[in-house]
Amino acid sequence: MGNLCTCVSPKTPAKTKKPTKRLQGNPQTAPNSSNTWTRIRSTRKDNHDELIREQALAAAIMFRQHQQQNGSASGLFPFDRSVSLRYPNGSGSKKTQLPRSSSSRARSLTDPLLQPHQLVNQDIKLDDLETNHFVLVHGGGFGAWCWYKTIALLEEGGFKVTAVDLTGSGIHSSDTNSIISLSQYVKPLIDFLDKLADGDKTILVGHDFGGACISYAMELFPHKVSKAIFVAAAMLTNGQSTLDMFSQKAGSSDLMQQAQLFVYANGNNHPPTAINLNKSLLRDLLFNQSPGKDVALASVSIRPIPFAPVLEKLSLSELKYGTVRRFYIQTPEDNAVPITLQESMINSSPPEKVFHLKGADHSPFFSKPQALHKLLVEISKIPST
């Protein structure tokens, strides 16, 4: 959502890279040269990366088809645990089991491949928690689909998880250009919380623009929110809009301006109705530390961002919003919401505790899923003071 603040700034054309010229060499005249091996290794890597991209795109298409067949326009998607690559209790066929990862990206030492029981303390008792129900709220342009790794890890740890598709996002059927208010955009989340039984509480997790959305919900249902976790998210103050916050860094990123493609569904003489993102810049802007297969999934799943909700100023009171415990997870390698802007939001409205997710880009559910999961569980276990 850091990409929403420069609508009035002139766009700078994206710089195109000049083709790199290959050095021509004769292997017969240089028997000790590594050029031949370099070319072979490069060819193998290119072929492998191309195979990965094809597999990821095929998986993404199947995922979207599954959503359309089983989802509904309500905005809530019932994730089937069978889509997980893990087969708990020995279930599942080994013949059809997919590889754990087809990414060519070297796994970071800060996010090792761990099983849920290694991430969560063995002595954790979910019944002792105030709530074990996580509600995941995506950012602008994303959908419930972006949480698929987090959902699998949390469910395997025994937690209850609900991932919400906001209006015009994910598999929600509404046209993004028709969204004219924040209340309309957040309606699927509000409807879900409204239907919760009295006494039932949740842990709201908001990413990106989802931070403003969970803040809106916290003001309406403070008694149904145990904790609120902002993940590289817009954490606003009373009377502030998302555009106000992100305007603090207007003009500071050429990449941000290049990525914005404004949609004027009501005509050029009217304000924009939505914002598209340049697909060629998605990796650098949102996924600069994420696996290629997840970038491929995002490239076929991201939808336009409604413009009107980001202009709307929030009304947040100490008696309601202020009573909910807030936590912030920083993403230091973030190119969409830079760490300096995250620090500014934290200083303007200090949460109870701040966590630093080392090596995470703007999409830690892709780039650091294990580490993100560990922090979510850790926050769920923090007792009331």
What ranges in 221-316 are assigned the alpha helix state H? Answer: 242-246, 254-259, 282-286, 292-301, 308-311
111, 165, 294, 334: which is the annotated catalytic residue? 334
Measure the CA–CA gap between 357 and 286, rounded to whole angstroms. 15
CA dihedral 162, 284, 7, 332 (to 10 degrees): 70
Q: What is the DSSP string of 124-157?
A: --GGGSS--EEEEE--TT--GGGGHHHHHHHHHT
CA dihedral 368, 67, 184, 204 (to 10 degrees): -40
Respond yes or no: is residue 198 known to be catalytic: no
111, 165, 208, 361: which is the annotated catalytic residue? 208
Token pair of 219, please?
């003001």
- Distant-in-sequence contacts of 113-121, Cβ < 8 A, 24+ apart: 113/370, 114/370, 116/153, 116/156, 116/157, 116/373, 117/157, 119/153, 119/157, 119/370, 119/373, 119/374, 119/377, 120/157, 120/374, 120/377, 121/381
Q: Could you tell me the end-to-end alpha-carbon distance of the chain, in angstroms, rounded to an integer?
A: 33
Measure the CA–CA gap between 107 and 126, rounded to whole angstroms. 30
Q: What is the DSSP string of 168-224?
A: TSTT--S-GGG--SHHHHHHHHHHHHHHSPTT--EEEEEETTHHHHHHHHHHH-GGG
Respond yes or no: is residue 128 known to be catalytic: no
Measure the CA–CA gap between 251 and 258, rounded to whole angstroms. 11
138, 172, 207, 362: which is the annotated catalytic residue? 362
Token pair of 261, please?
């493609």
Respond yes or no: is residue 208 known to be catalytic: yes
Active-site residues, by number, are: 208, 334, 362
